[in-house]
Structure 1
C-alpha cells in the first residue's frame, strides 16, 4: 500500500514540474512577442540639399490671340451660308453671302463699260500717233489725256466701285480658324451692326490670370508655367509668362498673361484653367510633406536615432504640393521618418526601412 501511494506522489510531482516548465516557456514567448510588437515599422529617408520648387497657384481663363467678330458692311437678307459652328476655315474663304443680284448686275455692266473704254483707248492712241508705242514710253501728260478722252479712267473707277459694293455682300475669313457663335439662317435680315459669327485661331492661345502682390518678386517674363484644364486634370500644357501688368488693383491682385505652347483641340477660348508657376530655390533643406505631423498645434518631424523616434519641432519656410522647405528644426544628414509617424511618440522603439526622397518636377 505504501508503494502505491509513493508511486502516485512521484507521478503528480513530475506532472507539476512539466506544467511549470511549459508555463514559463509560454510567458517568455509572450514577453518576446510583446517586445517585438512594440518596435513600430516605419520608413525613413535622409535629408540632403535639393532644389525646391516654390509654387504659385492661380485660376485663369484661356483666350485666343486671334479672335475676330465678323459683320457685313451693309444691311440685306442672307442668301447663303457655307460654314457651321466648329468648322475650320482658311484665310480668305467665303463664309456667307447676302442677296446681291442687283450689285452683281452692276458689276457685270461696269466690266462691259471698261472693255469698251479699252477699245476707245487704243483708237485714241492711234489718233495721237502712238499706235505701236508702249504706254511706258508715252509722255505722262499726253498719256493722261488719252485715258480721259477714251473714257478709260471713268470706266475703271466705276468698275472698282461696283466691285467694292459687291464684295460687301461677301463675308470672308480674315485668318484661318474655327467658326463660333453662328446663329443666323438663310433668309434672315442682317444689319451692319449685327455680329454674324466669330472666327477663333485655336493654334495661338494665351492664358490670363492674377496673383497676389506679394508673389510678384518671384515672377518674371519668360518664366515657365503649367496650365491644367478642370475638365481633364491629367492633361498639362506648358507655357511662359509674357506680360506682368505693373498695377495692383484694389483687391491686391496683379494681372498676368502667358502664352500656351502647343495647345490642342481640348482647349477652348474662355475655358477656366488652373495655373501653376514654379520658382526654383537652390540649397534649401527639403523634406516630403508626409514627414510632417502636428503635435500641440505645432509642426513636428520625427527623426530615427539608434532604433528610437525623436521628436523635433520645425519652422517651415515654404511649401508646394509635394514638399516643405524648412527654415529651422533639422539639419542636413538627419534621418527622418516619412511613414508610420502618425501615432509615434518621443523615444518610441522603431523598426526603420530606408527609402529615397527626391524633389521632382511638379505638374499635379
Structure 2
C-alpha cells in the first residue's frame, strides 16, 4: 500500500508566498484601473451663460411708494326714526342704484300720524275759509290781501297744521332707508324684527367705480412729480394692475419728512375699499445704456458686469446712474470701456473670473 506524500514545510511556505504575491498584485492594480476609468468618464465643466445686446434708449426712472385704496364716495347710513326693522332688501356686497330702498321699518304708527295730520290740515282749511268769510270775502273769491290771509292763517291754525303735516310726512318717509348714490353695501349687522339702532350706522354704502389712493413721498422726490402725472397701480393681493393720475399734492411736509399725494384711478373690477397697493411713478431719461439687474454683480465692493467677446468674459467696472424695478442705467467706470452694441452676460455670472471661457446658451 502506497502512503500519500504531503508537501514538505519548505514547499508549503514557498506556495503560500506565491499566492500572497498574486493577491497583492491583483489588489494593487484594481484601484488604479478604476481611477483611470473614472477619470476618463468625467467631462470638462463649461461656463454656460445667457447674453443680451447693450442698447442706448430711454430709461424709465421709477419712484415707488405704498398706499391704500379709498372709495371716491362712501357714506354711513343711519335710520333717523325709531322702530323695528320690517324688511332688509339687500345683503353685504350687493350693488344697488341710487334711491333703491335698502331696508324699512314697521311704519304703522307713522302712517297713523300722517293720517291725523292730514285730517287736521283739512280742518284748518275750513277754519281759514270761515275767517276769510268773516272779513267780507265770498266762497268764490281767490284773491285775498296778504294782510287778511295772514290773519286768517293764524286764527284758523292753518300754519301750525301745515307744519304738523310736513313733519308727519317727513317722519313717514324716514322709515325707508334709501341709497343716496349707486354703490355696494357693506356692514349690515342687524336682522328683521330687531329694533333699529339709531346710534350706529345701519350700513355703509361704497361707490367703488373710482378710487383714491393716498401715498407718501420723500421731500427730495417731490420735485420729480406734478399734478396730472400718470402712476402705475399694483395691488399686493395680485388683482389687476392699472394706471391713474395724481390729482392732489398736499402743500406741507409732515413730522416724518414726508409729503402726501393723492391719485385717482378707475376700478378694473377687483379693487376693494382699504386694499393695499404699490404706486409707481416713472420718468423717462433719454440716451441711457440699460442692462437687466441680473447683469450687475459685486467684485471687491464695486459694481461690475461681464462683456462677452468670442467666447471670453471680460470683467468691466461700471457706475450705476439710475435704477427701476428691473433695470439699471449704467456707464463705464474710469479706465473701463462700455458702449451700445456690446454683448453683456446676464446669467451664471456670480462666479465668473476675468477672461473666463464661456459658452452662450440663448
Confirm or deny a common fold (TM above 0.5): yes
Deviates more, 1:303-312 or 1:255-264: 303-312
Secondary structure of 1:106's match?
A: helix
* SS of match in other structure, 1:76: coil
> Are 2:233 and 1:227 equivalent residues in the alignment?
yes
Task: Give 1:210's aligned residue.
Answer: 216
**CA-CA distance at 1:53 after TM superposition:** 1.1
- The answer (yes or no) to whether the contact 1:62–1:271 under 8 Å persists in 2 is yes
Question: How far 1:82 sits from its partner (Å)?
Answer: 2.1
> Is 2:71–2:212's contact at 8 Å kept on the other side of the alignment?
yes
8 Å CA contact 2:227–2:247 kept in 1: the answer is yes
Indicate yes or no: 2:66 matched with 1:62. Answer: no
* Structure 2 residue matching 1:72: 3-state secondary structure: coil
Q: Does 1:107 align with 2:111?
A: no
SS across alignment from 2:220: helix
Structure 1 residue aligned with 2:102, among 79, 95, 98? Answer: 95
Separation of aligned partners in 2, 1:119 and 1:203:
54
Deviates more, 1:106-115 or 1:247-256: 247-256
Q: Contact between 1:208 and 1:255, CA under 8 Å: does it hold in 2? A: yes
Structure 1 pair 298/72, CA: closer, same or farther in 2 (3 Å)?
same
Give the corresponding residue for 1:131: 140
2:319 equivalent to 1:310: no
Which residue of structure 2 lines up, in the alignment, with residue 250 of structure 1? Answer: 255
Which piece of structure 1 moves more, 221-230 or 108-117?
A: 108-117
Of the candidates 284, 288, 300, which is equivalent to residue 284 of structure 1? 288
CA separation of 1:115 and 1:89: change in aligned 2, threshold 3 A: farther
Q: How many residues align?
A: 315
Cα deviation, residue 172, structure 1: 2.0
Say whether 1:80 aligns with 2:84: no
Which stretch of the first structure deviates more once superposed, 46-55 or 193-202? 46-55
CA contact (8 A) 1:122 1:131 kept: no
- My pick for the range that moved more, 236-245 or 330-339, is 330-339
CA contact (8 A) 1:61 1:209 kept: yes
Matches within 5 A, 1:1-364: 42-118=49-125, 128-129=137-138, 131=140, 139-145=145-151, 147-148=153-154, 152-232=158-238, 235-264=240-269, 266-305=270-309, 308-329=312-333, 330-339=338-347, 341-350=349-358
Q: For each residue in 1:224-267, what CA deviation from the matched residue of structure 2 results, as whole angstroms up to 9, or x when unmatched?
A: 1222222225x112111222223333333332221112441x11
Q: Contact 1:125 / 1:131 at 8 angstroms: preserved in 2?
A: no
Measure how far apart 1:179 and its partner are. Answer: 1.1
**Please, what TM-score do these two structures have when normalized by structure 1?**
0.74
Task: State the shift of 1:297 in Å.
Answer: 2.8
- Structure 1: where are the runs of 5+ without partners? 1-29, 356-364
Contact 2:308–2:314 (8 Å) recurs in 1: yes
Residue 3 of structure 2 aligns with which residue?
Answer: none
